[in-house]
Structure 1
Amino acid sequence: MPLMVAALGCPPDQAPKTGRATGRGTLHIGLVNNMPDAAFKATERQFARLLASASGAVDVRLHLFSLGTVARGAAARSYLAGRYGTLRDLEGSRLDGLIVTGAEPLAATLTEEPYWAELTRVVDWAEHNTASTIWSCLAAHAAVLHLDGIARRRLPEKRFGLFDCVEVTAGGLLRGTPAGLRVPHSRWNDLAEGDLRSHGYRIASRSPEAGIDTFTKQWASLFVFLQGHPEYDADTLFREYRRDVQRFLTGTRDTMPALPAHYFEPRTEQAVAAFTERARVDRDPAVWDLFPSDWAVRPAMLQLWQASAAQLYRNWLAAVSSD
């Protein structure tokens, strides 16, 4: 059944203004999109596509929300005004499930971020007003810090690429996913498994290279935390890498980014690696013209990644509807 994106973030006016929406024959899912201007439209599209792929015969309505403390330019504010509800709208709405995206880090610590206070209000609201909430990337780190005081740790290098993951807890959210899970990761920070386990979190999947992938904790709502990005498009890691190369060549980044691990097909990886070495030696914006225009992702990896992502969200929607 096609996914419908509701106007201005809010469920129908005739619905009660608080509590969950379960039982009305339609699943109402909220998306709090905290991504910066350059990425928030793509993020909206990625989650909408993934929910549409996962919904099957279930009628799913997607309601869009934005935090006012996330910095926006004029064009983005104009776009949001016609499609997105505010935090106050969210707190007055009636949803079955919620997805909260990461955000651009601007401060040295999460508690110093300009959006920290609003993001913690989302955490507190979601605990008592959703059947389940997915916290993605920085939002996952912020939620566990707010809930249990678990601080993330800075990695020496960016965890960047498409990584093998193994199921740790049988069944549940990963039921029916391919045996060879592949999940994109793109982050500078990590959470220690020991810290999570000591506070009652259950590890659903981990990667030998990338660390914890998915973990959960049952509050009044089932909270699902993703350090990876199963929602990514096939070219998202490529575009992130290309952006960081440009930043290096123009002097706004100090180091040349590493290639995304296990992502490009071999010929592309060789061509990009050769360009990387040239750019490292001859750091000049003009070198950008030599960036390979013909590139490809490893097809088998892409198929497993997209199949895993759809099944994860299919299981999540089933959990939301059965609550």
Structure 2
Amino acid sequence: MPIRIPDALPAHDILESENIFVMTEYRAMHQNIRPLNLLILNLMPTKIVTETQLLRMLSNTPLQIQVDFLQTASYTSTHTDIHHLQQFYYTFDQIRNRRYDGMIITGAPLDYVPCEETLYWDEVCKIMEWSKTHVHCTFHLCWGAYAGLYYHYGIEKLDMPKKLFGIYSHEIRKETSPLFRGFNDNFLAPHSRATDVRLSDVEAIPELEVMAVTETGSLAIAKTTDSRQFFVTCHAEYDRDTLALEYERDMKKGLTTVDVPVNYYPDNDPTKVPPITWRATGQLLYSNWLNFYVYQSTPYDIEEIN
């Protein structure tokens, strides 16, 4: 089934070329069903890449989804064409009176930056507070997860001496959870971060439950016991070359805290094409979240979300 996006969005042609069913706004308006309304707060500098990655994951369900994109007003990305932002993105003041079935707060390249020193921290806090009454279920991704854990529960993020960078195996702590429907006992997913939290700090909060951890014992997925907030530190939506591009970027910067991404290149050789070993993880993670925690529990009358 389709994902509903504007015809002119750059991701439209990319997804159609991959035989992913995207629906025009005109066709969607003439179907007698209510789509899920989803909001993506995109904090990544390469917004079009992130848009495409997330839309690819969200498209693999029998649900029609209306996606809105949100940018910060307190900081404007310099890596994305201003016309793209003006055409496809809202600011918070433009959507603050709307309600959404689901929301994704993306990561951001903010390793080693304290939350309060982030240029748009006050605005993100305002949006996270608003989400508690205007969004049925929020999916905090990577930096968004650390921001959410800190804002909602006061859990401090920690700087890691070495970046967690590569493809890691994960242990599922809640095997019966619908979130892991179809998963193997252990699953693979990329990480690209120099930020962490103490697992014990998360486990100490009665409203939080740890869902999965990395093979290194780092938090991978947590959620609230009412399933209204998810905190995910892995990047199951990444493309084949995402880590390669990040590695090349970091090498050009002369960073000494980054090694070749683990379990990524064949024979650990950056000249070889990396295989995708996490595609099923990504499709299942986002599909299960949408189906079991958004679609099946959100009210039919979206105005009843509170």
Answer yes or no: is the 8 Å Cα contact 2:210–2:223 preserved in 1.
yes
- What amino acid does structure 1 have at the position aligned with 2:229? F
Task: Give the alignment partner of residue 76 of structure 1, picking from 72, 81, 103.
Answer: 81
Mapped to 2, the partners of 1:309 and 1:211 lie a distance apart of 19
2:294 corresponds to which residue? 320
Mapped to 2, the partners of 1:108 and 1:61 lie a distance apart of 33
For structure 1, the 5+ residue unaligned runs are 13-22, 273-291
- What amino acid does structure 2 have at the position aligned with 1:258? D
Answer yes or no: is the 8 Å Cα contact 2:44–2:108 preserved in 1.
yes
- SS of equivalent to 2:86: helix
2:158 corresponds to which residue? 153
Mapped to 2, the partners of 1:210 and 1:244 lie a distance apart of 25
Answer yes or no: is the 8 Å Cα contact 1:7–1:83 preserved in 2.
no
Question: How far apart are 1:27 and its partner, in Å?
Answer: 0.9
Mapped to 2, the partners of 1:179 and 1:48 lie a distance apart of 26
Question: How far apart are 1:41 and its partner, in Å?
Answer: 1.1
Answer yes or no: is the 8 Å Cα contact 1:99–1:136 preserved in 2.
yes
1:29 corresponds to which residue? 38
2:217 is the counterpart of 1:216: no
- SS of equivalent to 2:81: helix
Deviations 1:83-119 (CA, angstroms, capped at 9, x unpaired): 0111112312221100010123287410121110111
For structure 2, the 5+ residue unaligned runs are 10-24, 26-31, 298-306
Q: How does 1:93-172 map to 2 (within 5 A)?
A: 93-105=98-110, 108-170=113-175, 171-172=177-178
1:259 corresponds to which residue? 260
2:18 corresponds to which residue? none
1:233 corresponds to which residue? 239
Cα root mean square deviation, aligned: 2.3
2:70 is the counterpart of 1:65: yes
Change (3 A) 1:8 1:198: farther
Answer yes or no: is the 8 Å Cα contact 1:161–1:260 preserved in 2.
yes
Question: How far apart are 1:210 and its partner, in Å?
Answer: 5.7
Mapped to 2, the partners of 1:50 and 1:64 lie a distance apart of 16
* TM-score, structure 2 as length reference: 0.83
Give the fraction of aligned pairs with identical amino acids, expressed as a percent: 26
Answer yes or no: is the 8 Å Cα contact 1:8–1:84 preserved in 2.
no
Question: How far apart are 1:122 and its partner, in Å?
Answer: 1.4
Mapped to 2, the partners of 1:256 and 1:118 lie a distance apart of 30
Question: How far apart are 1:6 and its partner, in Å?
Answer: 4.7
- The structure having more radius of gyration, on CA atoms, is 1
Mapped to 2, the partners of 1:153 and 1:227 lie a distance apart of 13
Deviations 1:24-62 (CA, angstroms, capped at 9, x unpaired): 5311111110111xx211001100111112x2x211121
Change (3 A) 1:109 1:26: same
Answer yes or no: is the 8 Å Cα contact 1:141–1:152 preserved in 2.
yes
Question: How far apart are 1:131 and its partner, in Å?
Answer: 1.8
Question: How far apart are 1:69 and its partner, in Å?
Answer: 2.1
Mapped to 2, the partners of 1:67 and 1:104 lie a distance apart of 15
- SS of equivalent to 1:131: strand
Deviations 1:56-91 (CA, angstroms, capped at 9, x unpaired): x21112111111123423853221000011111231
Change (3 A) 1:49 1:108: closer
Answer yes or no: is the 8 Å Cα contact 1:6–1:61 preserved in 2.
no
Change (3 A) 1:145 1:256: closer
* TM-score, structure 1 as length reference: 0.79
Mapped to 1, the partners of 2:185 and 2:6 lie a distance apart of 35
Answer yes or no: is the 8 Å Cα contact 1:164–1:182 preserved in 2.
yes
Bigger proportion of residues as helix: 1
- What amino acid does structure 2 have at the position aligned with 1:222? R
Mapped to 2, the partners of 1:75 and 1:127 lie a distance apart of 29
- What amino acid does structure 2 have at the position aligned with 1:315? N
Change (3 A) 1:190 1:107: closer
2:17 corresponds to which residue? none
Q: How does 1:225-304 map to 2 (within 5 A)?
A: 225-248=231-254, 253=255, 255=256, 257-266=258-267, 269-270=268-269, 272=270, 292=271, 295-297=272-274, 299=275, 302-303=276-277
Question: How far apart are 1:121 and its partner, in Å?
Answer: 1.2
Count of matched residue positions in the alignment of Structure 1 and Structure 2 = 273
- What amino acid does structure 1 have at the position aligned with 2:134? N
